[in-house]
């Protein structure tokens, strides 16, 4: 028998409902936890995912999302090489660690000029100096060489040395942020190498700057080693297996197999089977689907998360061009019914124009939401800056991944692109994304409070179990009763 979603949700989307407030139970909203999951084994402290769009999510956006509890998904396309995508992933994983496990090094036989060049290329201010046997012999920073006018001078004349006790280091393992902070305080230094006591081989580096960042971002989304979490997208044909292999080597936490229509027995089945043969149980999210049957199809293929949404994105023209799609609340609710007895989280992808829409997606069954347009135009977004020649106003490019511009760049061909289902526009520059993320966090904490719970997961599960009990269908007049939606 074919499944049918509840009648109240058929043809409905986020602006069609409002959540009825419940008896409040918290004194201060700022302490409300927003913990949820992106996939079976990837937790979030903010139910927000930066979309794998090439004008939205690069390493800076991924870092900002993870620092605030969410996760970013690095995009893939013909214009984004495997090397570039994996380098982005490494940049995110190196951004915050209480121990840098693989710090940059330089040989003691090299010059000050070579050290400066390495620091500039790698975007760092410190290099550990090693012997030919890879043993720690010293450390050099930008400050150490600031007064050196001759770049050919030996590095050993300017570095902090192990031999004369000028360089502090430790031999004991460090297992927590608190231990790392205490070690730095004990030696009154800002950088502290960790070495193997027998071989003098480098095991890691602690820096005060990293520890301070970690202590500042109490909501940060971290892996077991204290590194920021990041995901990356692959396709289901072409170089997808090679791309997945290199991304996994680079340390990504989750792979997102991204397709416009993932319920496809000719493509998806083979792609997931190939992925599992090579990468076994590695965390895999797949999408997009928008129906009960589509979710069951992916569930049976053994994915750890399902991305939901066809035609609802801000930069998407699928419904206009093809007449195909499902309103987003109907789609999420249908998928929830397919997965309610499983442990597979739902990522609602598309249709989010304001924070209240995030609340509505969570209320009908999503565990997190994927967003693009509300992050576009920010400092961290990948889109290029564009300045209005008349007004001087700064804008940033934002485009769907099936827009003509994206397809032309990806195909690197003068031929007219086909299957255009996306658009491009310029978004006013909005400054750093951090302020937007903080505002979303506060709005969601308020939503949880209004729902009569003290953490997001309790509110989400209560609402999703029986949303008809808590969601009020709105008339056209009701949508315009307060601030126009």
Exactly one of 62, 148, 286, 316 is catalytic; which is it? Answer: 316
For the chain, how many residues are written?
485
- State whether the Cα torsion 59-381-15-440 is positive or negative: positive
Per the annotation, the verdict on 316 as an active-site residue is: yes
Residues with Cβ within 8 Å of residue 391, at least 6 apart in sequence: none
Output phi, psi for 240, to 5 deg. Answer: -60, -35
> What is the rounded CA–CA span in Å between residue 47 and residue 108?
47
Output phi, psi for 144, to 5 deg. Answer: -60, -35
> What is the rounded CA–CA span in Å between residue 267 and residue 252?
24
202-207 and 191-195 strand pairing: antiparallel
Residues with Cβ within 8 Å of residue 47, at least 6 apart in sequence: 34, 36, 70, 358, 362, 366, 367, 368, 369, 444, 456
Query: Which residues are annotated as catalytic?
Result: 316
């Amino acid at each position: 028998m074919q499944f049918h979603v509840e009648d109240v949700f058929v043809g409905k989307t986020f602006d069609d409902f409002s959540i009825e407030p419940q008896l409040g139970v918290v004194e201060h909203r700022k302490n409300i936890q927003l913990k949820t999951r992106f996939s079976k084994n990837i937790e979030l402290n903010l139910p927000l995912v930066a979309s794998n769009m090439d004008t939205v999510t690069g390493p800076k956006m991924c870092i900002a999302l993870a620092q605030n509890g969410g996760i970013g998904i690095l995009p893939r396309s013909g214009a984004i090489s495997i090397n570039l995508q994996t380098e982005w992933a490494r940049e995110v994983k190196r951004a915050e660690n209480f121990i840098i496990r693989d710090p940059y090094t330089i040989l003691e036989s090299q010059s000050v000029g070579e050290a400066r060049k390495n620091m500039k290329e790698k975007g760092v201010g410190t290099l550990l100096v090693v012997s030919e046997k890879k043993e720690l012999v010293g450390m050099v920073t930008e400050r150490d060489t600031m007064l050196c006018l001759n770049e050919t001078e030996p590095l050993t004349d300017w570095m902090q040395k192990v031999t004369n006790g000028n360089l502090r280091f430790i031999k004991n393992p460090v297992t927590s942020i608190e231990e790392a902070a205490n070690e730095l305080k004990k030696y009154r230094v800002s950088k502290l190498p960790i070495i193997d006591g027998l071989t003098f081989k480098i095991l890691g580096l602690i820096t005060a700057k990293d520890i301070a960042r970690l202590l500042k971002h109490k909501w940060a989304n971290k892996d077991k080693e204290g590194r920021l979490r990041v995901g990356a997208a692959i396709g289901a044909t072409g170089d997808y297996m090679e791309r997945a292999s290199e991304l996994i080597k680079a340390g990504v936490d989750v792979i997102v197999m991204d397709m416009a229509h993932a319920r496809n027995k000719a493509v998806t089945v083979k792609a997931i089977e190939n992925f599992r043969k090579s990468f076994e149980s590695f965390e895999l999210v797949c999408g997009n689907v928008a129906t009960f049957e589509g979710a069951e199809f992916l569930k049976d293929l053994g994915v750890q998360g399902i991305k939901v949404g066809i035609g609802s994105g801000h930069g998407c023209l699928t419904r206009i061009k093809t007449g195909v799609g499902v309103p987003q609340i109907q789609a999420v609710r249908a998928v929830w019914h397919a997965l309610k007895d499983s442990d597979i989280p739902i990522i609602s992808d598309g249709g989010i124009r304001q924070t209240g829409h995030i609340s509505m997606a969570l209320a009908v069954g999503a565990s997190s939401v994927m967003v693009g347009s509300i992050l576009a135009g920010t400092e961290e977004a990948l889109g290029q800056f564009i300045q209005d020649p008349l007004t001087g106003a700064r804008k940033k490019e934002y485009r769907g991944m099936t827009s003509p511009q994206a397809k032309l760049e990806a195909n690197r061909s003068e031929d007219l692109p086909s299957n255009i289902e996306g658009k491009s526009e310029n978004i006013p520059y909005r400054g750093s994304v951090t302020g937007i993320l903080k505002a979303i966090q506060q709005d969601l904490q308020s939503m949880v409070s209004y729902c009569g719970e003290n953490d997001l997961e309790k509110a989400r599960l209560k609402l999703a179990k029986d949303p008809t009990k808590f969601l009020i269908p709105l008339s056209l007049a009701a949508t315009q009763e307060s601030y126009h939606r």
